[in-house]
Each structure stands twice: as structure tokens, then as C-alpha cells.
């Protein structure tokens, strides 16, 4: 039996080791400045933040610590979104890892948690879109400088996530009881083969279902939709089983174009954690 904090790190490792995982760093692909080893180091570095969450610390502080540790390596942002899902899920696993408990964990977050989330941006460069003008003082890229505005407006971390939907499907998990994360866990449990093969197959299914919001923010809705449509074709034809080279080609092409469905990977990591905790996925 692994502890919840260990299962969270194992989920991060299994996620990046799945291949082919179109567009992202995987067991056989690096990006120009972001290598497989940065993800290994990010998972190791996230330890103390994840342990804080497992010990019952506030979500915002645990998240900030996890990001600070993750960013020890030079690859910079490797698992920011995944940790934004894992920290509340690890916290929920203290009583029960269910959608209802996870929902109550995030609903109970405070303004202090939101401050921890903003401070996390001091440790790492995360790609985010411009906020609406009315939210300019709360642009996450301000990091801890935005904390006074948070307290002035009385926004909890849940409120911040709620404001980020639509346009950020990690935030969407927070306000929908982590529905796609639990669905991914269910699929991981029912898939065949080694955990890393299951991670790759579920990645494709999650990507096939909704345009990846990181891709949409970086490359526009049209590209995000195109990527999802192609993932859906490959998924519907069970290409991983019948024509794996087609998926490999798609993966190479996305890497070449710099199109990285990072949000999809975050959800798969959350699903891996849930499946490991529920022991529906064993190694």
C-alpha cells in the first residue's frame, strides 16, 4: 500500500511515462526545453506539498509548497495543472476519495487558499491567457502582488476557479466535482495492459471528448477543435489497437507543431491518482 501522497507522485510518473500521448512529453518524446527527466524531478519535488495535503494542511499552502518543490528543476512548469487537481484530491482522501468529498474540500477553500494559489505563480512560469479587464488586478501572473486585491474582493480559491471557467478545464474540474477525473479513473480501471498503456489510451479518450483548453489558449479554438476531432477519429477506430503507427504519427506531428494538450494530461494524472487510491489500478 502506498500512502496518498505516494500515489499522487506515482500518478505523475505514470502519466508522463504513458506513450504515445499526442503532443506531450512521454516515455519516448521530449520537447525542446522540457524533457522527460524534468517531469521525474517535478514529481519527486512535489513531495512535501502533497504530504502537507495528506496531513490536512490548507489546500492553498499545500499547493504552493508542491509547486515550489516541483519547480526545483530547470524545466520550469511540468505539473502545475496536475497538482492543482491532485492537492484537493489528496486532501479528500483523508476521509473518502469521492466526488462529494472532493467537492466539499474545494468549496471550503478560503481567501487564504486563494492567496497560496497566487503565491505559487511566484515560483514558476505558467502559460495563461489574459484575464478580462475587470479582473486585471487579479491576473495570476501578478503572483503574490495580487494577494491584496484578493482579500479586498474576498475571493476564495473556489471563487477564483469558478471565474476561470470556461477557458480552463482544470478549473472546471473544481466546480464539477472532478467529473472528468473520476471518469478517467473509471476508464483506467477498465482498460487493459500495463498502467502506462492504459494512461496513453485514456489520454486519447479524454482528448477526444473536449478540446484541450491549454491548446485553445495557446493556439486558438480552431486548432484545439481540430486536435480533438483527430483524437476522436483515432479513438473511435481503436487506432491504438489496430493502427498504433497512426497515433505515433499524430503524436510526432503535434510535438513538431508545438501543440501540447497539457490540460488533458492533468486530468489523466488526476484519474491515475483516483484509480491507484481506489486500488482499481494496481502495479
Binding site for its own copies (CB under 8 A): 1-2, 6, 9-10, 13-14, 17, 27-28, 30, 35-38, 40-41, 43-45, 47, 72-75, 194-196, 282-283
CB 45 within 8 A of CB 54: no
Of 195 and 215, CB closest to its own copies: 195
Question: Least distance (Å) from its own copies to the CB of residue 186?
Answer: 20
3-state secondary structure of 31: strand
- From the list 116, 270, 82, 260, the residue with the least C-alpha distance to 184 is 270
Rounded to 5°, the CA angle 110-113-115 comes to 115
State the Cα–Cα distance between residues 265 and 103, nearest whole angstrom.
21
Shortest gap between Cβ of 7 and its own copies (angstroms)?
8
Q: Return the number of the residue (76 or 137) whose C-beta is nearest its own copies.
A: 76
Q: CA triplet 99, 173, 179: central angle to 5 degrees? A: 45
Taking the complex as a whole, how short is the minimal distance between the CB of residue 234 and its own copies, in angstroms? 22
Residue 14: CB minimum distance to its own copies, A: 6
Nearer to its own copies, 30 or 253 (CB): 30
Distance (Å, whole) CA 2 – CA 10? 9
Using the minimum distance from each CB to its own copies, give the nearer residue, 181 or 196.
196
Amino acid at each position: 500500500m502506498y500512502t496518498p501522497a505516494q500515489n499522487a507522485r506515482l500518478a505523475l510518473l505514470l502519466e508522463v511515462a504513458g506513450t504515445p500521448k499526442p503532443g506531450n512529453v512521454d516515455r519516448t518524446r521530449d520537447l525542446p526545453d522540457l524533457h522527460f527527466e524534468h517531469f521525474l524531478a517535478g514529481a519527486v519535488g512535489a513531495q512535501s506539498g502533497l504530504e502537507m495535503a495528506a496531513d490536512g494542511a490548507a489546500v492553498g499552502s499545500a499547493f504552493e509548497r508542491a509547486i515550489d518543490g516541483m519547480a526545483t528543476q530547470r524545466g520550469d512548469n511540468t505539473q502545475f495543472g496536475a497538482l492543482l487537481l491532485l492537492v484537493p484530491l489528496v486532501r479528500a482522501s483523508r476521509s473518502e476519495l469521492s466526488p462529494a468529498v472532493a467537492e466539499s474540500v474545494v468549496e471550503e477553500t478560503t481567501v487564504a487558499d486563494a492567496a497560496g494559489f497566487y503565491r505559487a505563480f511566484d515560483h514558476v512560469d505558467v502559460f495563461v491567457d489574459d484575464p478580462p479587464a475587470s479582473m486585471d488586478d487579479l491576473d495570476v501572473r501578478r503572483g503574490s502582488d495580487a494577494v491584496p486585491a484578493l482579500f479586498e474582493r474576498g475571493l476564495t480559491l473556489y471563487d477564483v476557479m469558478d471565474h476561470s471557467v470556461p477557458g480552463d478545464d482544470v478549473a472546471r474540474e473544481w466546480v464539477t466535482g472532478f467529473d472528468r477525473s473520476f471518469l478517467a479513473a473509471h476508464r483506467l480501471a477498465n482498460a487493459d495492459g500495463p498502467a502506462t498503456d492504459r494512461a496513453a489510451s485514456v489520454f486519447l479518450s479524454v482528448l477526444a471528448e473536449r478540446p484541450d483548453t491549454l491548446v485553445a489558449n495557446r493556439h486558438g479554438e480552431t486548432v484545439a477543435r481540430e486536435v480533438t476531432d483527430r483524437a476522436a477519429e483515432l479513438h473511435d477506430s481503436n487506432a491504438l489497437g489496430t493502427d498504433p503507427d497512426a497515433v505515433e504519427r499524430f503524436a510526432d506531428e503535434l510535438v513538431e507543431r508545438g501543440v501540447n494538450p497539457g490540460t488533458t494530461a492533468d486530468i489523466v494524472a488526476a484519474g491515475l491518482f483516483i484509480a491507484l487510491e481506489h486500488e482499481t489500478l494496481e502495479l
